[in-house]
Amino acid sequence: MTSDLLGQGTDPLALAERWVGEGRKVALATVVETWGSAPRPVGSHLVIDSEGNFEGSVSGGCVEGAVVGEAIDVLESRAPKMLEFGVADETAWQVGLSCGGRIKVYVEPVA
């Protein structure tokens, strides 16, 4: 997995449009709910292509890696998914949400 333009301030939605125009299969992950301490606000986006390239952010740490993996599954199945990460989840420490927050991320195929 690699970030296409990490640190260059590229708008993930504009990048998704560009990637679709290039013929890539693209998924969009969007933070739809947060509780407590969450690294990114509702409306934050991560765009992912079928090769695992990504741009944007929905959380940070291992959450992004988990979302990228799920996005690739979404691209293969063409079925959107709602993901939830948080301290109540036994994997909270593994995905980097040990600070007490929870997030819901909706992942959908764009093209």
* Domain boundaries, position 64: 2-109
**Residues 85/92, Cβ–Cβ less than 8 Å:** yes
pLDDT attached to residue 37: 75
Q: What is the pTM of this model?
A: 0.81
Rg over alpha carbons for the chain, rounded to the nearest Å, is 13
Tell whether the model's pLDDT for residue 4 goes beyond 60. Answer: no
Q: Report strand pairing: 26-35 vs 2-3.
A: unpaired
Q: What is the pLDDT, as a whole number, of residue 58?
A: 92
Angle at 76 between CA 75 and CA 81, to 5 degrees: 55
Whether 84 contacts 104, CB under 8 Å:
yes
Number of folded domains that form the chain: 1
Mean pLDDT of the chain: 83
